[in-house]
Amino acid sequence: MAFDRARFTRACGLSELEEDTPKRVELDGTPISVVYTEGEVFAINDICSHANVSLSEGEVEDCQIECWLHGSAFDLRTGKPSGLPATRPVPVYPVKIEGDDVLVSLFQES
Ligand code: FES
């Protein structure tokens, strides 16, 4: 299904993002970590799938965001953990850039 502009919500400004520095935002009450890395912008749910910890407080490297508490790293493209202790993926969301607007859709493709 083609993306519909109405399904995307502005998360932040592109110019507000610093490379490899996650920015936490809330969209409709859902915490999201927006990450600019390797020339792309990604949006991943901000809560680690292992415990209630904010991923945006972790470090970004190799297109992964690392949970600061126990060290599982999640792929920003797929949400999948690279290793234990987390075993479940974290939701990731489609991103569109329009001018300086970073738009995120909480609807996931199926
Ligand atoms: S809380 Fe994130 S890996 Fe344990």
CA distance 32 to 93: 9
Separation in Å, CA 110 to CA 23, 63, 93, 94, 107: 26, 23, 12, 12, 9
| 90 in Cβ contact with 48 (< 8 Å) | yes
Q: Give, rounded to a whole angstrom, the gap between the first and last alpha carbons of the chain.
A: 9
Mean residue pLDDT across the chain: 93
Span 2-104 CATH architecture: 3-layer Sandwich (2.102)
Q: Is the pLDDT of residue 3 over 80?
A: no
Query: Looking at ligand 1, which atom is closest to the CA of residue 53?
Result: 1
For residue 1, how far is its CA from the centre of ligand 1 (angstroms)?
Answer: 34
Q: Which atom of ligand 1 is nearest to the CA of 49?
A: 2
- Contact indicator for 3, 96 with CB cutoff of 8 Å: yes
What tens digit of pLDDT does each residue of 29-59 get? 999 999 999 999 999 999 999 999 999 999 9
Q: Where are the domains of the chain?
A: 2-104
Closest atom of ligand 1 to CA, residue 52: 1
- pTM of the entire structure? 0.91
48 lines ligand 1 (CB under 6 A): yes
